[in-house]
Structure 1
């Protein structure tokens, strides 16, 4: 059972390392208008519908 705890600690450590790396070397040139040009209509509709459903779920006393 100790190997499970070690494995979980290794995964958490690896996640922290990756998070640190991406914060240090992350995206520096972020332009939302340029990104909006590169998305298809179906992806935009899917994302807007998903976010609207989340908002409605939260307004109606969602799961939390």
Structure 2
């Protein structure tokens, strides 16, 4: 079951029977029908790998 916290607007899926009963009896929560599930797909970020710069010291020729 899904419950909306009226004060915060957050919606929670509750599966525990005791917790469901608590939400049903709490005036801060109302049962809501879930919206169609939306699949969130993160866009792959391409990272360009650059060669690490080295600090080579050249010795002076004597």
- TM category (shorter chain) comes to under 0.3
Give 1 or 2: higher strand fraction: 2
Q: Which has the higher contact order (CA 8 A, sep 6+)?
A: 2
**TM-score, normalization by structure 1:** 0.24
